[in-house]
Structure 1
């Protein structure tokens, strides 16, 4: 039994919970409905609630289910738990191991409980192949022509979908993106294809139902595959088949509940079946993910649903004290939301949000913290903002540009993004905005892929199809290629390295030509078995004199002959395809090549800048490049062979097909879930990207335009007839979502919120009144010395340092730790030598530096 109480632990970390926080932490025997406003300390409450359960209520770690929205949030919770449980261990000498704890995103937790033997069911404990978002895109893209043929779709089916779904174009990319959204929504609502078809009221919905059915069937061909939406459906089926599914977890805790969908809600209630200790935490005003199937009604109506499904009404607790922002910022975003009419027009007393939140600021600082600019054209407004920001940085009011965020509703194609970027650059301020255009058009990916193009060559371009998006991509390849040439010409060592790699690939390609010709002349099929060692010997004798030295070396390796002899002796099949691949491929892949290139000046400087905390932006871009490369290796082509080069398949698959599809998708940082905030740069983020973050200074990219009361969400329109329950009126969906979006943006600011005021543009009425009447002070009149400096908050990551293997990893090689742990680079086989070379190079630089100092002294 513990010799301490929770108050003792509070004192150890100087945590003084307010009454609502305390109640949310210690009330452990009933369902809880926590309405948590911005900056209300919900993460800390969740941590202490879990610690309370484990340390003071003897709940086993494996009996707690804790779901978060992102992997980053899950990691923060794990680190926080390790630290707090470590403090408890110091007092009660009990060790707590959370390595097997159920904490993570709902997708990761679904994968975990599907394989958990505690759930008693007849399912085979094996996961299907899980398609990530990019996998799903390629799967549908590659199978669409087959679907059209087998389903006998009309020739203009794409035009029909364009018109029905209100798409921008009828291109294959646009159609595939649309189908992904529709299919995912069908899956998240647990709709079967037959149900969609049977209840369809028009031909296009029948077509969508048939396409969905074809898609589901295509996932079952070969080894079974599921996408992320179907993963949740599959997990729920496992729970339905498990008689004890409601007995495994004594406590089910869900963070960001406002962003859950209907299938997730079913999962959480099913897991809570016996003990009924479900605790949901969220804020309906911060629900942003309807486009991913999120159903804000899950949170708004949680008390009713909990009572209906579990037979017990939850305790509702309002975490309504904001510890993040100064008072006027809190008042501003609170008043903004209250200007909207959230009450149902048909049912008096029913609201589409929690209207009784009573958000308050903990800060008593009533100084100016919300400002606007002079009313002028955009270029002048942005110059005014940039000038003031520069002044704040120069006077150390802001210690680093990364403490500033500019939030836009969208970045790509937004003229204001470029205008503000240019304004900052006029004052020598750097910006990090990888999603402002196509990610591949950023300098770092262009450098890497430009060097790749110089190594492998530019793929053949068929002029018949060189127009539209294809032409833009081909032009991008040419720019990359030329950029690569510039880098090579500026670095003699890089030039030599590239020439050696090209020479190696040329020999590999020529060797395959020799092998191919020999096999043709001797009527050897690539799939013929080598059932006699003399066949191998004859093959070797016939090709040896024609192969390059590299080819001769590989075919003469003893290991090749040993493997063949062993297979023949064991009567196991081994064919010429294996042999040719073995002797006619390089021992490195694209990711290995990336790290080899990082030894040279251009890329090495990026690592140096990041290590010195001067500029991290390019480093994060390189990290994302490694993610793209690794995806290609795992899902497309892993080996670089002479055959692939000889047939130009490698170039066409990697550049034209793979990078071309990513380029057309226009998805910057598509695989990155948690947006990095690099030191040395002002971050340009979408409001969605900023969710969960906070910044001392927040600049709204632009005031929203007038309300569009007639707009509707097309996906919502087509899915709504299939749903049961109470939902927001379709005609209000877009406006409500936009209000929530701006609420999130306004509430990110800690010390200063800047609102631009453009001349001659329509302004949303909820902003217009405050701007026109002069209620908001002008930025130009702001005394920057009145702005509090950022308070450095200690992160859990530093506190758990000694409890993890990170210290050993860091001790082994600080730069390796930085690259993998901090920036999320994907490791490759050659990175050990890569780091060794960097260390040697650094020592050499230091040595030369001190020699030069000695020469100067003389």
Structure 2
């Protein structure tokens, strides 16, 4: 067969002919996936893709079909994803799929320049378009790239909420409990302020409506948000949410409408995690053509705490009618090619076994959603779904560790990384996953837990912080400054200083010790210029904090840590925090003051800011950064949050702490607080109660956890009628026989007891 010379002239029949085939000669597409490719896109396409049904596979071939058959220019096709990692995977698989077609003889595929695709997260694509189109509001604007940086900015710009001591204000939004007698500390105020501001942006909250409500707390909030916007504008900065607001404003402008009217094909991945402002952006991108495809699964919606709303997916048809005046075509991907049939049966029964997932008024799930169909081809009559239920977590942990060791020793998994321990929180406390990881390590096995929030107490990183403290603050800060530090930070600083002293006490690192002593001496001997009272080198160049960091990192043992994968990633995270701190606090310059005892010292407020913002940010729980290209650690049992496991799959999944119960959080409160004042055009007219939404969140969370498993799913934890909550919430009591509070109650659920 001869291939056409140009893209866009290939028939769908020929496209299929050049697609890779399965061993039996059939297409590597299910009938549902073929329907997606054969859609004519005169109407929007609404794809509900359950776990393991080949969502990414569908997107890859759909993109290539739109390019090669429909003739969409690559530079006019936009594919948005939820994370950078997902974007990287999609790009890689697109390149591989195109190459497979080239290898099969399709010359037209060689002419497709995939680098021209607009592929990435919405934040990345918004920034790219706004810069390329020279949108005035975002020219020369620096983005606050993460939550910690945003909190630094709120503190540095002295937002009014930083001085809000009104307990009832913080209680209103459920940031503190009604019984609390003290307002949040400065660090927490910054965290909560950012959460409030982000939700206001994402929900298009109307400040005039807030103020006209006459409620004092809402007026305070409106003024604080207004001050935040003003300070961002003055500082030529934007946060992630406001970047999207700028993008939406651009799309509504004549220039933006002209850009969209050139023709745009839009595909949106993970649509269940879309927030209100993103939904509006997507429909404006679709323009009058309405060439829009959304792909997602309402049962895997996990990011309400970041402002996502599952209604974007479950009510996509209503939004299409509002924005486009037309009805989308629904398509369900149901063939699960990941899991053992018993696991598929389990997740079907689980998600359908909760009355909370049905509501006569509100669409909790996508309408008409069918069950998953097992198509993995896995065979075997062994119990693929099992439970470890003990009277206390330490006993359950011993059984889990023995199971893990047995799977590895018997060769049932080829690498420990094929086993994942999933849980709500991976902090290694006695009441969390601590007993489980300790028991596995006691078996001589490695455990990788990048979300343990323990990186900040790593001995080497602690010593690095201690070196900084000893250089900038040899005698430890003045009592009145230290007393004002956030709770726990003074002890953390003392621990860091002690860690550095312990590091050099053995005499193994004389150059590091000399550098710290010499730096302290240089500060004490520095001459202060009243007009420019900052620490300078001999040549007159100002010394900044990152210079000290680089000098310290050039010394052993820190230099060797940079060559170690885990240590290097921790130091990289520290460096990123330092860069953002410098950008907001005097460019990292070190201000000097006269020492009452003679000579010079670092100014007290410079030291205080360094401790109260930079060090406090680390102390609050610096995570081991996750490599953008690799989430799993070969040779180690992977411990991760259920959120982190989204999009992954494992031969064996062990879900820990099924006694975890749903809880109403500030997230659910903020949804209710801002609902009345939101200007979002498709906001739901009716909201379920906070308790019902919290139950939905817990059910979906464990649905995601269970559906990661390929060959073996184990639920493990404490189950005791007197000592622990029952498991009915996370096991699906409705398809069992009542409340699950003892081992006998598990018998009717199809879980094999270990």
Say whether the fold is shared (TM-score over 0.5). Answer: yes
Which aligned pairs between 1:56-455 and structure 2 lie closer than 5 A? 56-89=69-102, 91-92=106-107, 94-117=110-133, 123=136, 126=139, 128-132=141-145, 133-144=147-158, 156-168=165-177, 170-171=183-184, 172-198=186-212, 200=213, 202-221=215-234, 223-241=235-253, 242-341=256-355, 345=359, 347=361, 352-354=365-367, 356-363=369-376, 364-365=378-379, 366-412=381-427, 415-453=431-469
Relative distance call for 1:215 and 1:696 in structure 2 (3 A) is same
Deviations 1:169-206 (A, max 9, x none): 622333322221121111112123222222x3632122
Is 1:745 the equivalent of 2:705? yes
Q: Report the number of matched residues.
A: 702
- 1:490 is displaced (CA, Å) by 4.4
Relative distance call for 1:620 and 1:697 in structure 2 (3 A) is farther
Describe the SS at the equivalent of 2:420. strand
**2:597 counterpart residue number:** none
Relative distance call for 1:108 and 1:458 in structure 2 (3 A) is farther
**2:580 counterpart residue number:** 631
Take 2:484 and 2:391, find their aligned partners in 1: how far apart are those partners? Answer: 37
Relative distance call for 1:143 and 1:651 in structure 2 (3 A) is closer
Deviations 1:586-607 (A, max 9, x none): 897245335414xx35763784
Describe the SS at the equivalent of 1:162. helix
Deviations 1:597-620 (A, max 9, x none): 4xx357637846x5xxxxxx5554
- 1:488 is displaced (CA, Å) by 2.8
The answer (yes or no) to whether the contact 1:64–1:102 under 8 Å persists in 2 is yes
Relative distance call for 1:709 and 1:129 in structure 2 (3 A) is closer
Take 2:329 and 2:159, find their aligned partners in 1: how far apart are those partners? Answer: 53
Listed as ranges, the gaps of 5+ residues in structure 2 are 594-599
**1:795 counterpart residue number:** none
Take 2:479 and 2:138, find their aligned partners in 1: how far apart are those partners? Answer: 51
1:764 is aligned, of 727, 730, 748, to 727
Take 2:672 and 2:628, find their aligned partners in 1: how far apart are those partners? Answer: 28
Is 1:683 the equivalent of 2:638? yes
- 1:509 is displaced (CA, Å) by 2.4
The answer (yes or no) to whether the contact 1:32–1:280 under 8 Å persists in 2 is yes
Larger mean CA deviation between 647-656 and 733-742 belongs to 647-656
1:621 is aligned, of 570, 573, 579, to 570
Take 2:645 and 2:166, find their aligned partners in 1: how far apart are those partners? Answer: 38
What is the TM-score normalised by the length of structure 2? 0.84
CA RMSD of aligned residues (A): 3.5
- 1:71 is displaced (CA, Å) by 0.7
The answer (yes or no) to whether the contact 2:173–2:670 under 8 Å persists in 1 is no
Greater radius of gyration (CA): 1
Take 1:444 and 1:369, find their aligned partners in 2: how far apart are those partners? Answer: 43
Take 1:9 and 1:362, find their aligned partners in 2: how far apart are those partners? Answer: 24
- 1:637 is displaced (CA, Å) by 6.0
- 1:255 is displaced (CA, Å) by 0.3
**1:720 counterpart residue number:** 675
**1:702 counterpart residue number:** 657
**1:47 counterpart residue number:** 60
The answer (yes or no) to whether the contact 2:455–2:623 under 8 Å persists in 1 is yes
**1:593 counterpart residue number:** 551
The answer (yes or no) to whether the contact 1:20–1:319 under 8 Å persists in 2 is yes
The answer (yes or no) to whether the contact 2:420–2:653 under 8 Å persists in 1 is yes
- 1:55 is displaced (CA, Å) by 2.4
Take 1:639 and 1:773, find their aligned partners in 2: how far apart are those partners? Answer: 59
Relative distance call for 1:642 and 1:633 in structure 2 (3 A) is closer
Take 1:148 and 1:406, find their aligned partners in 2: how far apart are those partners? Answer: 39
- 1:145 is displaced (CA, Å) by 6.2
Take 1:89 and 1:653, find their aligned partners in 2: how far apart are those partners? Answer: 61
Relative distance call for 1:78 and 1:441 in structure 2 (3 A) is same
Take 2:319 and 2:659, find their aligned partners in 1: how far apart are those partners? Answer: 35
Is 1:6 the equivalent of 2:19? no
Take 1:261 and 1:329, find their aligned partners in 2: how far apart are those partners? Answer: 31
Larger mean CA deviation between 200-209 and 669-678 belongs to 669-678
Deviations 1:83-109 (A, max 9, x none): 333444553164333334211111111
The answer (yes or no) to whether the contact 2:415–2:635 under 8 Å persists in 1 is yes
What is the TM-score normalised by the length of structure 1? 0.74
1:604 is aligned, of 547, 560, 579, to 560
**1:570 counterpart residue number:** none
Listed as ranges, the gaps of 5+ residues in structure 1 are 528-546, 555-579, 611-616, 782-858
Deviations 1:630-661 (A, max 9, x none): 43454446666685984257972674033333
Relative distance call for 1:446 and 1:131 in structure 2 (3 A) is same
- 1:674 is displaced (CA, Å) by 8.3
- 1:299 is displaced (CA, Å) by 0.2
Take 1:441 and 1:710, find their aligned partners in 2: how far apart are those partners? Answer: 28
Take 1:82 and 1:441, find their aligned partners in 2: how far apart are those partners? Answer: 42
The answer (yes or no) to whether the contact 2:448–2:636 under 8 Å persists in 1 is yes
Take 1:712 and 1:648, find their aligned partners in 2: how far apart are those partners? Answer: 40
The answer (yes or no) to whether the contact 1:33–1:315 under 8 Å persists in 2 is yes
Relative distance call for 1:443 and 1:399 in structure 2 (3 A) is farther
Take 2:387 and 2:484, find their aligned partners in 1: how far apart are those partners? Answer: 41
Relative distance call for 1:279 and 1:194 in structure 2 (3 A) is same
Relative distance call for 1:362 and 1:707 in structure 2 (3 A) is same
- 1:734 is displaced (CA, Å) by 0.7
Q: Which has the higher helix share?
A: 1
**1:808 counterpart residue number:** none
